[in-house]
A = this chain, B = another copy of it.
Amino acid sequence: MSNPTNNSTTVGNTSSKGSPTVARSAKGEQARNKLKQAALTVLARVGYHKMRITDVTKEAGVAAGLFYHYFPDLKSLTIEVLTDFILESQNIEEIEKDVPKGDWFERMLAHNRLVVRTYAKHPGIMRCLLQLADEDSTFSETLRNNFIQQLNWLVRLMPKLFPQAAFSEHQARIVIYALAGNAEAILRDYYINRDPRLLEHPLSVDEMAELLSVTFYRGLFLENPPAEKLSYTSNLQYMKKQSS
């Protein structure tokens, strides 16, 4: 935000010749950020594939040619903007980590609340994350690294939590992946695609987060979370095999 020169953000420097792709003055830095902010706005509105360079420069209120003074192409700009977006989310996430140690359900809940809030507030940007991940394998990897890393604490804990199951690290990861992947489809179809069958009775962010946490917790522990922690899903304690 403050320092004009040393940023690691400049990604796709087209070899060595040509335009700088980095601002060389405070004013330049301002303009560069104006373009980034404009890009975020356009991305949220029209998505990655429909975005045009002139959309961004118009939104920023600058001439088209200026774009190339700071970015080699739309993809670089988009990657930079979305990487920033993810990092900002993660920053907040650290703060979120003030839940009692060992309370698995609260920890899942805190994590899910953050994710759900982000989808609810920025559905267009979340869509772009998926678009760009499909387009660019490096970005796709970044996203997956992120996801896997957030699950790692749990993966590493598995042998201790369930010694009898004798998990290999790989199997633990696969199982956790399968359990945690449940969020993506419903979040996309609820917040991005806004399927009327899902929106029929709207859920608050907390309710959605609770739902995702409960299904995860049940799959992991074969047990419902403590009833006193539930509201929207409290009836799920009765969702279990009858008779037998």
Contact = CB atoms under 8 A, between A and B. Distances in A.
A105 to B, nearest CB: 11
Bin chain A's interface residue count. 35 or more
Interface in A186-244: 186, 189, 193, 195, 197-198, 200-201, 203, 211-212, 215, 218-224, 233, 235-242
Interface stretch (A75-83, A93-101, A177-185): A177-185
A58 interface: no
Interface of A: 47, 49, 127, 130-131, 134-135, 137, 140-141, 144, 148, 161-162, 164-168, 170-171, 173-175, 177-186, 189, 193, 195, 197-198, 200-201, 203, 211-212, 215, 218-224, 233, 235-242
25 contacts: A134-B134, A137-B193, A141-B195, A144-B195, A148-B197, A162-B238, A162-B242, A164-B235, A170-B200, A171-B201, A173-B198, A175-B215, A175-B236, A177-B185, A177-B189, A178-B183, A178-B212, A181-B184, A181-B186, A184-B184, A185-B185, A219-B219, A222-B222, A222-B240, A222-B241
